[in-house]
């Protein structure tokens, strides 16, 4: 598990705080614990813990539309309620899946049938992610170029989808 403070090193210390009967645990690495101990900055550590409590409350409010499972329930039990939970909690699940499996995209074998369609879909997904990244970096000209390429690819895909639909 990564340190909840720096998100870089492995957590080795669990700091548990009980405030008004509400217990909160925080996983920290040795470096972050030393940082708080060295400066004698207990108030900074307390502020960080309170901040994580507030974030945990916000996360607990996030709920799957289909099954009603909250992020807090998932973190407590470790299991999702339905397939829609993967979409609902995508942002929170991605770092965990990457840490466990090394990536979030499938890297195994693909079925032989319809390989071209799968490759088109993967290209569309790569373009979409690149466009989102360009927008977040405010590289709007690059984002517009990627959008146009994405739209052209989607337009070219429509006749192919209609043709594939006729064969079934």
Q: Express each pLDDT in 120-135 by its tens digit.
A: 888 888 999 999 999 9
Judged against a pLDDT cut of 60, whether residue 168 lies above it is answered with no
120 and 103 together in one domain: no
Reported as a pLDDT band with limits 50, 70 and 90, residue 32 is confident
6 and 56 together in one domain: yes
Q: How many domains does the chain have?
A: 3
Owning domain of residue 25: 1-61
153 and 136 together in one domain: yes
CA dist., res. 163 & res. 117, Å (int): 12
Judged against a pLDDT cut of 80, whether residue 66 lies above it is answered with yes
51 and 5 together in one domain: yes
Mean pLDDT, residues 152-157 taken together: 84
69 and 90 together in one domain: yes
The residue ranking higher by pLDDT, 18 or 30, is: 30
Selection from 36-45, 72-81, 154-163 with the highest mean pLDDT: 72-81
The domain that holds 23 is classified in CATH as 3.30.60
51 and 88 together in one domain: no
- Please indicate, yes or no, whether the overall pTM of this predicted structure exceeds 0.75: no
The overall average pLDDT reported for the chain is 77
C-alpha dist (Å) from residue 29 to 12, 45, 49, 52, 54: 5, 13, 14, 16, 21
For 107-123, the pLDDT digits (tens) are 777 666 677 777 888 88
Read off the tokens for 10: 């492995």
Whole-number pLDDT of residue 160 = 64
- Cβ proximity of 42 and 50 under 8 Å: no
């Amino acid at each position: 598990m990564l340190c909840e403070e720096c998100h870089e090193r492995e957590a080795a210390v669990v700091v548990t705080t009980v405030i008004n009967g509400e217990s909160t645990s925080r996983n920290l690495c040795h470096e972050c614990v030393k940082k708080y101990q060295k400066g004698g900055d207990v108030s900074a550590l307390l502020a960080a813990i309170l901040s994580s409590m507030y974030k945990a409350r916000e996360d607990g409010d996030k709920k799957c539309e289909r099954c009603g499972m909250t992020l807090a329930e998932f973190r407590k039990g470790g299991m999702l309620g339905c397939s829609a939970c993967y979409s609902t909690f995508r942002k929170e699940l991605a770092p965990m899946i990457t840490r466990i499996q090394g990536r979030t995209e499938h890297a195994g074998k693909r079925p032989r049938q319809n390989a071209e369609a799968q490759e088109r879909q993967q290209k569309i997904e790569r373009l979409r992610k690149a466009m989102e990244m360009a927008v977040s970096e405010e590289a709007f000209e690059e984002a517009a170029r990627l959008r146009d390429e994405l739209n052209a690819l989607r337009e070219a895909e429509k006749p192919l989808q209609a043709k594939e639909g006729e064969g079934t």
